[in-house]
């Protein structure tokens, strides 16, 4: 399976990254273990999580996803077969931000929960405007130099702060951001393409976008508002039914999928993989069956006519 480089880090990833946000939430420990086993069996290698997963669940304090991944690694001995990506900066147990002390404290907690001596890709989860980028990058740079982190990336940062961070890294002679993790999919594409893609291409940042299936909408399983009633993400799915654009995109996915023999989810992810600067979309699944279906996206090839049809349907 072909792999794409994650910036200049020396890391490479297969065409899909497994999202760990569901581990310990909508996927219990046994199901999470089965998904992780199957992911590796299929030839994929990069697992993305965060120290804040899953603080939004009543009774959770954060770190639940990392802890499950750590138990899986210990049980199966697959550490050298995978790349671990996690994040710091979101609120966890009353603390948030990217100050030096917080970065240094929380990386140790993540390493302990993951039961490993290194994190392959350590990402700043959210910008902290109260902390100078120089302070954050010096802290991250020390982690890279110490071998606790192999490479660093940014998620949900304003474009200007990404540019400032890269400039600060060069001035200080420390590790720079190599990856960018924004929201990007056929429906939510305008902001990335306007504001973030130019930065990524200018600085050679590799993009590993989240919500590649628009919280499940682009899988095609939600065709009307009543389909989302009672779903964990029902509130976030409502916007996709505003106007006719969402259903227009689903129609194009059905059309293209019929020609290439693929499901709407597979076509949606294949479209992302075909975009400039994209290494691999992050996908979350709650069953092995879902993973088996999603994984086939890596072999779906879209010609220029298919890409053009999808672009027209998703134009804003």
> What's the pLDDT at 169?
98
Helix/strand/coil (H/E/C) assignment for every residue in the chain: CCCEECCCCCCEECCCEEECCCECCCECHHHHHHHHHHHHHCCCCEEECCCCCCCCCCCCCCCHHHHHHHHHHHHHCCHHHCEEEEEECCCECCECCCCHHHHHHHHHHHHHHHCCCCEEEEEECCCCCCCCHHHHHHHHHHHHHHCCEEEEEEECCCHHHHHHHHHHHHHHCCCCEEEEECECCCCCCHHHHHHHHHHHHHHCCEECCECCCHHHHHHCCCCCHHHHCCCCCHHHHHHHHCCCHHHHHHHHHHHHHHHHCCCHHHHHHHHHHCCCCECCCEECCCCHHHHHHHHHHHHCCCCHHHHHHHHHHHCC
| Contact present, 180 and 8 (Cβ < 8 Å) | no
Residue 69's pLDDT is 98
Whether 246 contacts 314, CB under 8 Å = no
- Residue 229: the pLDDT is 84
Which pLDDT score, from 0 to 100, does residue 49 have?
98
Go through the domains of the chain in sequence order and give each one's CATH number.
Answer: 4-181 (3.20.20.100)
- Considering the candidates 53, 184, 187, 240, report the single residue annotated as catalytic: 53
Count CA within 13 A, CB hemisphere, residue 164.
13
Dihedral of the alpha carbons of 58, 59, 62, 63, in degrees to the nearest 10: -120
Tens digits of residue pLDDT in 224-280? 888 888 777 777 899 999 999 999 999 999 999 999 999 999 999 999 999 988 999
Specify whether 222 is catalytic. Answer: no
How far, in Å, CA of 231 to CA of 233, rounded? 5
pLDDT higher than 80, residue 282: yes
- At residue 53 the predicted structure's pLDDT band, cuts being 50, 70 and 90, is very high
Those residues with Cβ within 8 angstroms of residue 215's Cβ, 6 or more apart along the chain or in another chain: 233, 236, 237
pLDDT at res. 226: 80
Is residue 1 very low, low, confident or very high in pLDDT (cuts 50, 70, 90)?
A: confident
User: Per-residue pLDDT tens for 191-237?
Assistant: 999 999 999 999 999 999 999 999 999 999 999 888 888 777 777 89
Mean predicted confidence (pLDDT) in 142-163:
97
| Prior bond of 131 cis (ω within 30°) | no
Which tops the pLDDT comparison, 229 or 121? Answer: 121
**What is the pLDDT at residue 19?**
98
Averaged pLDDT for residues 131-149: 98
């Amino acid at each position: 399976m072909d792999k794409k480089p994650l910036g200049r880090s020396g890391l490479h990833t297969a065409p899909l990254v497994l999202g760990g946000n569901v581990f310990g939430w909508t996927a219990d420990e046994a199901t999470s273990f089965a998904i992780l086993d199957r992911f590796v069996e299929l030839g994929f290698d990069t697992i993305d999580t965060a120290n804040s997963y899953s603080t939004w669940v009543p009774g959770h304090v954060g770190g639940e996803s990392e802890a499950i991944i750590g138990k899986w690694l210990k049980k199966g001995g697959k550490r050298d077969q995978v790349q671990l990506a996690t994040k710091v900066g979101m609120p966890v147990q009353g603390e948030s931000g990217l100050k030096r002390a917080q970065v240094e404290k929380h990386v140790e907690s993540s390493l302990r929960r993951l039961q490993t001596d290194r994190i392959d890709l350590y990402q700043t989860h959210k910008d902290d405007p109260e902390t100078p980028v120089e302070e954050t990058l010096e802290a991250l740079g020390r982690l890279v130099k110490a071998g606790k982190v192999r490479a660093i990336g940014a998620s949900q940062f304003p474009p200007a702060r990404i540019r400032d961070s890269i400039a600060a890294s060069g001035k200080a002679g420390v590790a720079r951001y190599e990856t960018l993790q924004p929201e990007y999919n056929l429906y939510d594409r305008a902001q990335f393409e306007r504001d973030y893609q130019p930065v990524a291409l200018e600085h050679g940042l590799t993009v590993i976008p989240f919500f590649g299936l628009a919280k499940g909408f682009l899988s095609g399983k939600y065709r009307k508002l009543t389909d989302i009633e009672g779903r964990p993400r029902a509130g976030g799915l409502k916007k996709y039914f505003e106007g006719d654009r969402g259903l227009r995109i689903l129609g194009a996915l059905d059309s293209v999928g019929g020609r290439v023999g693929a499901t709407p989810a597979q076509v949606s992810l294949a479209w992302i993989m075909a975009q400039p600067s994209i290494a691999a979309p992050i996908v979350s699944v709650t069953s092995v069956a879902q993973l088996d279906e999603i994984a086939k996206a890596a072999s779906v090839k879209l010609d220029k006519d298919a890409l053009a049809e999808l672009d027209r349907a998703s134009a804003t």
